[in-house]
Homo-oligomer: A and B are copies of this chain.
Amino acid sequence: MGIDRKPRLPEIQGRRMKKPGEIFRVEQLDLEFANGQQRRYERLISKGVGAVIIVAMPDPDTVFLIREYACGVHRYEIGLPKGRLEPGESILEGANRELQEEVGFAAANLQEIGVLSLAPGYMSHVTHIVLARDLRESSLPGDEPEEIEVIPWAMDNLVELVRRPDCTEGRSIAALYIARDMIRNHAFN
């Protein structure tokens, strides 16, 4: 028992793709659990090879946030830069590309510090957290419809940030706290 117990995974007894939208694919799974219970689940399958979210720090106390239009909630949201990896690109290469497209900086020091799921109950999506340091100005053209606003923020003031009604994304908040804890605990380098 306890947190390190390994439960037996349900057996996948059937699997089929449902009619796709243009960017979302739905897969149906027939499952049998260890206790014999059978269920049919649907899950969203991510196209592509995962995503990155970047904690870019121009100095040891500051992180670069961005403000960007968020279509799902139809408002401007403040959060960390992120994006999908391109085929053939490593996690750190993708992070450095997104950083140049969205923030206008490149990093000489990139380190993966964790992995986040989005809604693991019904989405396969995976996002790698990358800590980016030793920054220098360097831009790449992105596909955004308008210029992204970059907002430097104090890493020791996350409490004020997460109280804002326009900073709500679970992955951004989780990545910021994970990076802050690591930096405080000197758990990397």
Contact = CB atoms under 8 A, between A and B. Distances in A.
Interface in A131-189: 145-146, 149, 151, 153, 158-159, 162-165, 168-175, 177-178, 181-182, 185, 187
A10 B164 CA distance: 21
Which of A6, A79, A159 has the most C-beta atoms of chain B within 10 angstroms of its own C-beta? A159
Given A24-B26, A43-B72, 13 more contacts: A7-B149, A18-B21, A23-B122, A29-B71, A31-B71, A37-B145, A77-B117, A77-B120, A79-B120, A114-B162, A120-B169, A158-B181, A159-B182
B120 A73 contact: yes
A170 B116 contact: yes
Nearest to A163: B114
A145 B72 contact: no
Contacts of A22: 18, 26, 42
What copy number does this chain have within its complex? 2
Contacts of A6: 76
Given A117-B77, A169-B120, A44 B19 contact: no
Interface of A: 2-3, 5-7, 9-10, 12, 18-19, 21-24, 26, 29, 31, 33-35, 37-39, 41-44, 65, 67-79, 114-127, 145-146, 149, 151, 153, 158-159, 162-165, 168-175, 177-178, 181-182, 185, 187
